[in-house]
Amino acid sequence: MKQWTALLLLAVITALLTGCGRKTGPNGEVIVYNWGEYIDPDVLVMFEEETGISVIYDEFETNEIMYPKIENGASLYDVVCPSDYMIEKMIQNELLAEINFDHIPNIKNIDSQYLIQSREFDPDNKYSVPFCFGTVGILYNKTMVDSPIDSWDILWDERYKDNILMQDSVRDAFMVALKRLGYSMNSTDETQLQQAKESLIVQKALTQAYVVDQVRDKMIGNEAAIGVIYSGEAIYTKSENNDLEYVIPKEGTNIWIDSWVIPKNAPNKENAEKFINFLCRADIALKNFEYITYSTPNAAARALITDDEIRSNPVAFPDFTQYDNLETYRYLGEDATYQYNALWKEVKSY
Amino acid sequence: MKHTIQKIYIGLILILLYAPIATLIVLSFNASKTRAKWGGFTLKWYGELFQNEAIMGALTHTLLIAFLSAVIASVIGTAACLGILHMRKRTRTIFLGITNIPMLNADIVTGISLMLLYLAFGASFGFSTVLMAHITFNIPYVILSVMPKLSQMNYSTYEAGLDLGGSPAYVFFVIVFPEIFPGILSGFLMAFTMSLDDFIITHFTKGPGIDTLSTKIYTELKKGIKPEIYSLSTLLFLSVLILLLIINLKPDKRKEMTAQ
């Protein structure tokens, strides 16, 4: 009996110790909070070897899940990778620390057009360093449509009834409807939103389904002709099914940017800056681009891509100067968020 | 006629229950990454699974937490049962009611309240907070399965042991423990499985750098679940199946032996 209690005690003690006593590198640690599957695991190992800073890595699945964790301070993180509108919300609520760019000389590798685009949510480029970006567009099957597509109107085309896949998310759905009507996708104007809602209800009868990431598999499997999709998935789907084509509609669309930021309560701010600087290095950014396959804003990394078809692919690397109607999601405040959700509920339950 | 309908009905139910799992198992051997295309038979996802440090780490954490929390909950739960058994009738009903509440309570309430409690105490979130949370929600399951065994037991045997000169602890381990062991075992297994597939409470009580399988798989939502997870799920399903077979075959053997 004594042996049993002793064993049990030992188990409890080891458990508690492994929980509290983290192994720390000679130069401290950095606690990273990133999207799932959003970094090449080798990069973390390389960073640890080169800098002697150990990486504690954690992942989140949506911006909305990440936000309260940072806000309530249950766990402290040094460097986080939220999306555009969420960064704006975090800036407004004073959760972020200004980044000291003297510690991030590799920022020169980031193409300036992405920093300019970032000003929509981070007006002075003080808080964020772009990591991945992409657009939202239409993926269509060349063999299943009559003519090349260049407009959101196709999603309202009766000929493709039950062959259309729509994104199952408030902002993306309203973005499509608002852009098609020629409005800003960050509109909070009641009449504009009502119009968008009405048109989404009309469209609902034509759609096969509202989907999230199933759009990828469904399009590859020829289960639908047209789908709204993120550009990051477009290149992958094309490699699986050569009939698929991605297009940015002429009415304009959303360009999203996921950027690194440092929370105000970060315990290791300097290590966080070293980490961001490391990720901005051309070879590292290239490794991450190859692993994640989402577009990188790192111009130096892009220059290193050997496959010419990818390097000059307008899907992966669109030239922003060709469009004057690309927008980034803004944080609209609680009232407008409520308004969007209420209208979306009406669409979904119609 | 009635017989065929019966067969069709049960067949239909079995198909509905197991078709999803069968799909998953088939996909785990699919060489192509997308479910839309069959790229030929392969075992490569199984190979990659064991090389993926993140998934293997999450698996170790999951098993370790499930095992430790189940063991500790079994000990605490059994001790609690002994105490509750000797209470007066009214207090016993009250205490049994109290232990039932966490079981019926929504996971999200348990998760958030544990998180707030840890925050109030300034605990650093990590392995130990998850472990404590799992012990907390496992105890009622142990009590639930040990209590009936204990009340079925004839209390006089325990008293007889004391009369014969055994110390209370000795008598407990020699007489009471073997009697209630099946209850403890089923409580342990229940606690183990509850801990294994818990997502919500783990999500709220975990800290950076620690993931269980359920939270790890959930983070893959943005970029789509990787085929390695299919093969991991297949392996988990098979181990549970084998465990079930072993457990269910055993009593028959025992019966045969006694018959002989």
Residues A58 and A106 occupy one common structural domain: yes
Same domain, A220 and A344: yes
What pLDDT sits at residue B123? 84
Is the Cβ pair A20, B126 closer than 8 Å? yes
The answer, yes or no, to whether residue A31 has pLDDT greater than 90, is yes
Q: Which of A19, A36, A56 sits opposite B128 (nearest CB)?
A: A19
Name which residue leads in pLDDT, A172 or A147.
Answer: A172
Query: What is the structure's pLDDT at A21?
Result: 45
pLDDT at residue A20 in the model: 46
Query: Which helix (H) or strand (E) element contains residue A260?
Result: strand A255-260
| HEC letters along A6-59 | HHHHHHHHHHHHHHHCCCCECCEEEEEEEECCCCCHHHHHHHHHHHCCEEEEEE
pLDDT score recorded for residue B8: 95
| Max Cα distance, chain B (Å) | 73
CB atoms B119 and A74 under 8 Å: yes
Average pLDDT, integer, range A99-103: 96
Distance from A189 to chain B by nearest Cα, in Å?
Answer: 30
* CB contact at 8 A, A256 and A84: yes
Please tell me the distance from the alpha carbon of residue A127 to that of residue A148, in angstroms, as a whole number. Answer: 41
**Residue B174 amino acid letter:** V
Does residue A292 carry a pLDDT above 60?
yes
Pairing of strands A29-35, A54-60: parallel
- Is the same domain home to A10 and A148? no
A268 pLDDT higher than 70: yes
User: Tell me, what amino acid is at B39?
Assistant: G
Inter-chain residue contact A217 with B35, CB threshold 8 Å: yes
Size of interface A-B (CB pairs under 8 A): 106
Q: Are residues A269 and A247 located together in one domain of the fold?
A: no
The pLDDT value recorded for residue B222 is 74
Assess B125–A contact: CB distance below 8 Å, yes or no: yes
- Nearest CB to A33; choose among B124, B127, B208: B208
pLDDT at A8: 62
Residue A163 has pLDDT above 80, yes or no: yes
Tokens of A324: 């004057």
Kindly give the pairing relationship between strand A129-141 and strand A255-260.
antiparallel
Q: Report which of A305, A279, A297, A303 is spatially closest to residue A43, judged by C-alpha positions.
A: A279
Q: Tell me what percent of the residues of chain B surpass a pLDDT of 70.
A: 96
Considering all CA atoms of chain A, what is the largest pairwise distance in Å, rounded to the nearest integer? 80
Measured between CA atoms, the residue of chain B closest to residue A222 is B36
**Cα–Cα distance between A111 and B89 in angstroms, integer?**
75
Q: Which of A288, A318, A320 is nearest to A305 (CA)?
A: A288
Tell me which of A131, A220, A235, A295 to substitute to probe the interface with B (most B C-beta atoms closer than 10 Å).
A220
The answer on A243 and A98 residing in a single domain is no
Q: List the structure tokens of B49.
A: 């699974």
Cα dihedral A289, A290, A295, A298 sign: positive
What separation in angstroms does the CA of B258 have from each of A156, B179, B247, B249, B251? Answer: 75, 19, 18, 15, 11
Residue A43: band (very low, low, confident or very high) from pLDDT cuts 50, 70, 90:
very high
CB contact under 8 A, A240 and B32: yes
Contact B71 A223 (CB under 8 A): no
Give the pLDDT score at B172: 92
- Residue range B85-104: average pLDDT? 90
User: Which residues on chain B are in Cβ contact (under 8 Å) with A216?
Assistant: 34, 224
**Cα nearest neighbour of A33 on chain B:** B208
Q: Which residue of A has its CA nearest to B222?
A: A61
Task: Give CA separation, A216 vs A48, A168, A223, A225, in Å.
Answer: 35, 13, 10, 12
Residues 157-186 of B with CB under 8 A from A: 169, 173
Q: Which chain A residues are Cβ-neighbours of B33 within 8 angstroms?
A: 240
Closest CA to A177 of A248, A253, A117: A253
Residue B56 sits at the chain A interface (C-beta within 8 Å): no
Check which CATH number belongs to the domain holding A18 and give it: 3.40.190.10
Same domain for A56 and A159?
no
State which H helix or E strand residue A197 sits in: helix A190-204
Q: Is some CB atom of chain A closer than 8 A to the CB atom of B64? A: yes
Question: In Å, how far is B20's CA from the nearest CA of chain A?
Answer: 16
Only one residue has tokens 């960050």, namely A186
Question: Distance from B255 to chain A by nearest Cα, in Å?
Answer: 31
Q: What is the mean pLDDT of residues B179-191?
A: 92
Both A225 and A119 in one domain: the answer is no
Whether the pLDDT of residue A271 is over 90: the answer is yes
Nearest of A57, A97, A81 to residue A257 by alpha carbon: A81
User: Which residue of chain A has the CA closest to B116?
Assistant: A74
The backbone torsions φ and ψ at residue A30, rounded to the nearest 5 degrees and listed phi first, read: -135, 130
Check pLDDT > 80 for residue B17.
yes
Q: Domain range holding A156?
A: 134-255+324-349
Residue B57 contacts by C-beta under 8 Å, 6 or more apart in sequence? B211
Which superfamily does B53-226 belong to?
MetI-like (1.10.3720.10)
Q: Residue A32: list chain B partners with CB under 8 A.
A: 208
Phi and psi angles of residue A312, each rounded to the nearest 5 degrees, phi first: -105, 25
Parallel, antiparallel or unpaired: strands A79-80 and A226-230: unpaired
**pLDDT bracket for residue B35 (50, 70, 90):** confident
Name the domain count of chain A.
2
Closest residue by Cα to residue A350 from A248, A220, A197: A197
Chain A residue with minimal CA distance to B207?
A75
Helices and strands (H and E) in chain B: how many: 12, 0
* Closest-CA distance of chain B to residue A56, Å: 5
Across A17-42, average pLDDT: 79
Mean pLDDT (chain A) is 90
If asked whether residues A335 and A229 sit together in one domain, one would say: yes
- Between the CA of residue B51 and those of B44, B45, B54, B56, what are the distances in Å? 11, 10, 9, 8
Taking the Cβ of residue B42 and every Cβ of chain A, the question of whether any pair is shorter than 8 Å is answered with no
Per-residue model confidence (pLDDT) at position A19: 47
* B17 Cβ under 8 Å from any chain A Cβ: no
What mean pLDDT is predicted for residues B233-256?
Answer: 77
State whether A237 and A300 are in the same domain.
Answer: no
Which residue's entry shows tokens 């457990």? B247
Most trustworthy range by pLDDT among A71-80, A339-348, B240-249: A339-348
Alpha carbon dihedral B38, B43, B46, B49, in 10-degree steps, equals -70
Is residue A2 over pLDDT 60? no
Q: How far apart are CA A292 and CA B260, in angstroms?
A: 64
Same domain for A278 and A308: yes
pLDDT surpassing 70 at residue A100: yes
Q: Which pLDDT belongs to residue B70?
A: 96
How many whole angstroms from its chain centre is CA A23?
31
Residues from A contacting B (CB-CB < 8 Å) are: 1, 8, 11-12, 15-16, 18-20, 22, 31-33, 35-38, 41, 56-62, 72-75, 77, 213, 216-218, 220-223, 240, 292
**Amino acid B245: pLDDT:** 86
Shared-domain flag, residues A146 and A194: yes
Same domain, A122 and A248: no
The partner residue sitting opposite B218, judged by closest CB among A61, A74, A221, is A61
Q: How far is CA A344 from CA A75, A337, B175, B222, in A?
A: 33, 10, 64, 21
Contact B209 A58 (CB under 8 A): yes
Digit-coded pLDDT (tens) for A220-247:
999 999 999 999 888 889 888 999 999 9
The two tokens of residue A89 are: 């919300």
The 8-class DSSP code of residue B198 comes to -
- Tell me, yes or no, if B119 comes closer than 8 A to chain A by beta carbon: yes
Q: Count Cβ atoms below 10 Å from residue A151 Cβ, excluding itself.
A: 15
Amino acid at A136: V
Average of pLDDT values for A235-262?
A: 92
ipTM computed for the complex: 0.77
What residue spans define the domains of chain B?
A: 1-30, 53-226
